[in-house]
Structure 1
Amino acid sequence: MTRIHSTALVDPAAELDESVSVGPYTVIGPKVRVGAGTRIGPHCVIEGRTTIGRDNQIFQFASLGAMPQDKKYAGEDTALEIGDRNTIREFCTFNLGTVQDAGVTRVGHDNWIMAYVHVAHDCRLGDNITMANGVTLAGHVQVGDWVTVGGLTGVLQRMRLGDHAMIGFASHVGKDIPPFMVVDGNPLTVRGVNLVGLRRRDFSAERIAGIREMHKLIYRQGLTLDQSREAVRVLADTRPDCAADAALMDQFLGSAQAGVAR
């Protein structure tokens, strides 16, 4: 049977797998669905049309699925979707989406999300992300796979953090962060390639060399963004070992709308 503490308030319409555990004084609303093996700590509030996958661990005082902090929100039936095997620490706040976007806030799989992290409406988070304490994502932010975000960092609306990027402590992210880069500061500065992260993920020496070459083309040659993209395409043609990484970079730079950190 589902292990629900006697002081928890779980709406009869909520759908919880029989292996889910719920701690004392937690409140779960009628539109909530929780998958097998997920553990929900004490004093949490999970509301709205929120779907939570398998084997997540949600610590005390988390607030998931509350209405967006958006003055345009008028009670529309929007959603929050959380994948599998995520760790969500104390006092995190994840909001529902809005009809001004896709209507859903999405969190992927295997993410490590520390205390006091705020994920605002319509954010889209990938997989294997680490966000340290006090990170704040404004609405419509996109975070790629394997991104690391340092504590107390603020990310403005509609920014994109590319795959394998690393953002340092207390940074102000007001432009898109290309894949593989290390950035920090206020104003934001690109420091180089996320070599430590790439090596931990078993990137080959050849792939890392190609990524370092892309960094030089974008940040060290005095090229415009369009010229950098063209140089990255040439690199993909001449270095098959990094062709996929170059294609990712080219696509990211080509779809930037709010400017790219340079």
Structure 2
Amino acid sequence: MSGTRIHPTAIIEAGAEIGDGAQIGPFCIVGPQVRLGPNAILRSHVVLQGHTTIGEGVRIFPFAAIGNDPQHLKYQGEETRLVIGRNCLIREHVTMNPGTVQGRAETTVGDNCSFFTGAHVAHDCHLGSNVTLINNVMLAGHCTVGDFATIAGGSGIHQFTRIGHHAYIGGLAAVEGDVIPFGMVLGNRAYLSGLNVIGMKRAGFNREAIRNVRKAYRMLFSDDSTFRENIEEVETEFPSDPLVQDLLGFIRAGGDRAICFPRSVRPG
């Protein structure tokens, strides 16, 4: 293991795979089914358990508990997995659980994600790349979070909820409905408050793309017609716009939760 450094107080159980250049600090525990990628860093007091794969360059801070049994009352020790992508940042006291056989049997996290102090990723969640969970975010089981989504501190996300890509969840929000791509939600219970235009600009979307999504948003949530009629009108208005079509695809795909609507608009 070229360049690998393991502190003498760390416990690496037989069967664990440690990538080249990994650094494992004091009092860390790495379980027998763990695969730790090259150049990953465990600062100290990190616990990795279960069938857990950690990607290259991941940095994990003290007292994070990754891969322990899912918090699911029907879990009976089945072999399920947690897979974390490359270059993720996992700060203090973060918890992540593997999947369950009642779900997809796997929890997955993409590349370049950031998880700040006390954030929780529950069983069977699927997170894209470049996702950010700020302090004490509670992500319940079976949630899906799209690329570049940001969930601000103290927010709670109901199980089976879908968060679209480039969405923004405001601090302390209680989210119990699906959040459209580029959507911004606030409050308890959370409501759709507009679009994450700042996030779109930071992601490099041009003015025309943002303008089209904003117009589509106003049309979708107009009270002049039913939501179904509004969807058809947006489809007609933007038949070839990739971002608008992606937004419509998210809505049409549906899920276990209803779409999160603005306060002033009734679903219908």
TM-score bucket of the superposed structures, by smaller chain: over 0.9
Pair 1:245-2:243 in alignment? yes
Per-residue deviation, 1:125: 0.4
Q: CA deviation at 1:256?
A: 2.0
Letter in 2 for 1:230: E
Query: How far is 1:18 from its partner?
Result: 2.3
Match of 1:73 in 2: 75
Q: CA deviation at 1:230?
A: 1.3
Counterpart of 2:89 in structure 1: which amino acid? T
- What is the CA-CA distance between 1:73 and the residue it aligns to? 0.5
Alignment partner of 2:253 out of 252, 255, 259:
255
| Alpha-carbon shift at residue 66 of structure 1 (Å) | 0.5
* Alpha-carbon offset, residue 221 of structure 1: 3.9
Q: Give the RMSD, CA atoms, in angstroms.
A: 1.0
Which of 212, 224, 233 does residue 226 from structure 2 map onto?
A: 224
The structural deviation recorded for 1:190 is 1.3
Equivalent residues in 2 for 1:166-177, closer than 5 Å: 166-177=168-179
2:252 maps to amino acid = G
1:7 paired with 2:9, answer yes
4+ residue segments displaced more than 6 Å: none
Structure 1: tracts of 5 or more residues without a match? none
Would you say the 8 A contact 1:80–1:106 is kept in 2?
Answer: yes
TM-score by length of 1: 0.96
| Deviation, structure 1 residue 35 | 1.0
Map 1:99-248 → 2, pairs under 5 A: 99-237=101-239, 240=240, 243-248=241-246
SS class of match (1:116):
coil
What do the CA deviations read for 1:98-130 (whole angstroms, capped 9, x no partner)?
A: 011110000001111111000000000001111
Identity %: 38
TM-score normalised by L of structure 2: 0.94
Per the TM alignment, residue 163 of structure 1 is displaced from its structure 2 partner at its CA by: 0.7
CA contact (8 A) 1:21 1:40 kept: yes
Give yes or no for contact 2:51–2:81 (8 Å, CA) kept in 1: yes
- What is the aligned length? 258
User: Is the CA contact 2:11–2:29 (under 8 Å) kept in the aligned structure 1?
Assistant: yes
Q: Is the 8 A contact 2:43 2:62 kept in 1?
A: yes
Tell me, in whole angstroms, the C-alpha distance in 1 between the residues paired with 2:61 and 2:49: 16
Partner of 2:266: none
* Deviation sequence 1:55-94 (CA, Å, 0-9, x none): 1111111000000100111110000000001001000000
Where 1:228 maps in the other structure, the secondary structure is: helix
Q: In structure 2, what is the Cα distance between the partners aligned to 1:252 and 1:58?
A: 33
Moved more, 252-261 or 69-78: 252-261
Aligned to 2:30: 28
Distance 1:56 1:96 in 2: 17
Q: Is the 8 A contact 2:12 2:31 kept in 1?
A: yes
